[in-house]
């Protein structure tokens, strides 16, 4: 009897942007897997986000693109894409809209390719989908695979699988170092300075939290250590500086143990959604309308919008273009504290 030819679909997703964008790409990967549980889904990403994609239970293989290293030149990128042709992908989806992603897609020589209509070199993609600025990034990414929602069905939480040894590590750390379950997490940093809520404002918020009996943990990457230490120095052992101490996956597990995460418009917001905890995102130079706000039920955001200069850019800047930083300073700590009180009461 002739054997049946069962073709296993092979899919490639290209996402070489920052960690926050990587996390918001997980829901579309989850939906691709839900459509065909036998599909093999590979992801191309940058080294710093590899750990995020490796923690997804829906991804077959994670491939690093070192765009600032060995894959920097166009010739190196061409050689890289030529090597990947051997994987014989059936489809390529590129939420990332860069020139490099488009050139990589062209080099792969795959018949079914999907990108956004505002991608650089959009002709690199056989099918293009409208990039709707009014939608959340997750909803935009889902439209790339033909998933269109008229309701809130797009609100699919990103899934990160945490190994048992990491769960045990975090349990021991909380027991021995934090010594309480009354924890609030604050992520005060960002790559972009105009996204960073003023340190003195954060100090006022922490003062309120401390007086209310909470222990505050400051989280972030290695580059956030100094800022977190500057904030911590105004307090005693009720504030812990954990910046740079934990990986993205360890931080997600840590966040599952806190009452609330307060974050700038940055990657920790999305880690909070992975943990499915209450998140309050503070917007300075950017706005929720760009589509990167927390969307799980118990989360909210806050922003001072009565400014002609806001938003000044989708990513923000290293320095305030008007040299006032009114978007941060005019959002008073008292206003943020009132929002915190409501969130804590609602999720108590």
Say if residues 81 and 108 touch (Cβ distance below 8 Å): yes
pLDDT value of position 3:
42
Give the CATH H-level superfamily of domain 165-346. Glycogen Phosphorylase B; (3.40.50.2000)
Average confidence (pLDDT) over 2-24: 83
For 183-211, what is the mean pLDDT?
97
Look at residue 112 in the predicted model and tell me its pLDDT. Answer: 97
| Three-state DSSP class for residue 317 | coil
Do 10-143 and 165-346 have matching folds? yes
Residue 171: partners with Cβ closer than 8 Å, 6 or more residues away: none
Q: How many CA atoms lie within 13 A of 102 on its CB side?
A: 17
Q: Is the pLDDT of residue 4 over 70?
A: no
Mean pLDDT computed over 310-317: 87
Average pLDDT estimate for 205-233: 96
pLDDT in tens, 19-74: 999 999 999 999 999 999 999 999 999 999 999 999 999 999 999 999 888 998 99
Q: Cα–Cα distance between 262 and 218 in angstroms, integer?
A: 10
The DSSP-derived string for 122-150 is: GGGSSEEE---TTS-HHHHHHHTTT---S
Average of pLDDT values for 155-167? 96
Predicted pLDDT of residue 2: 41
Confidence band of 6 (pLDDT split at 50, 70, 90): low
List the beta strands (DSSP E) in 207-259: 215-218, 239-241
- pLDDT tens for each residue of 163-185: 999 999 999 999 999 999 999 99
Give the residue-averaged pLDDT of 236-251: 94
pTM: 0.93
| pLDDT of 5 higher than 70 | no
Positive or negative: CA dihedral 85, 86, 91, 92: negative
According to CATH, the topology of domain 10-143 is Rossmann fold (3.40.50)
The domain ranges of the chain are 10-143, 165-346
Mean pLDDT of the chain: 94
């Amino acid at each position: 009897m002739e054997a049946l030819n069962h073709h296993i679909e092979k899919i490639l997703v290209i996402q070489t942007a920052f960690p926050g964008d990587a996390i918001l790409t997980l829901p579309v990967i989850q939906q691709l897997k839900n459509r065909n549980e036998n599909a093999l889904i590979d992801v191309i990403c940058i080294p710093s986000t590899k750990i995020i994609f490796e923690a997804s239970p829906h991804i077959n293989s994670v491939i690093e693109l070192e765009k600032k290293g060995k894959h920097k030149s166009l010739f190196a990128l061409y050689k890289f894409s030529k090597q990947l042709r051997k994987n014989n992908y059936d489809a390529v989806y590129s939420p990332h809209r860069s020139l490099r992603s488009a050139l990589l897609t062209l080099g792969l020589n795959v018949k079914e390719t999907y990108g956004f209509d505002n991608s650089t070199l959009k002709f690199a993609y056989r099918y293009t989908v409208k990039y709707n600025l009014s939608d959340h990034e997750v909803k935009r990414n889902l439209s790339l695979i033909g998933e269109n929602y008229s309701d809130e069905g797009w609100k699919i939480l990103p899934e990160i699988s945490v190994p048992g040894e990491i769960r045990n590590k975090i349990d021991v750390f909380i027991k021995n170092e934090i010594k309480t379950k009354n924890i609030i997490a604050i992520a005060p940093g960002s790559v972009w300075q105009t996204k960073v809520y003023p340190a003195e404002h954060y100090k006022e918020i922490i003062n309120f939290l401390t007086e209310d009996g909470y222990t505050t943990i400051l989280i972030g990457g290695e580059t956030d250590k100094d800022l977190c230490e500057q904030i911590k120095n105004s307090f005693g052992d009720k504030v812990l500086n954990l910046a740079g101490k934990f990986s993205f996956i360890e931080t997600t597990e840590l966040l599952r143990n806190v009452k609330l995460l307060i974050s700038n418009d940055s990657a920790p917001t999305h880690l909070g959604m992975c943990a499915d905890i209450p998140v309050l995102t503070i917007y300075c130079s950017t706005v929720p309308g760009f589509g990167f706000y927390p969307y799980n039920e118990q989360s909210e955001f806050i922003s001072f919008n009565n400014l002609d200069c806001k938003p000044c850019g989708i990513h923000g800047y290293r320095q305030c273009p008007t040299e006032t930083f009114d978007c941060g300073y005019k959002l008073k700590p008292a206003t943020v504290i009132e929002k915190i009180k409501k969130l804590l009461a609602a999720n108590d």
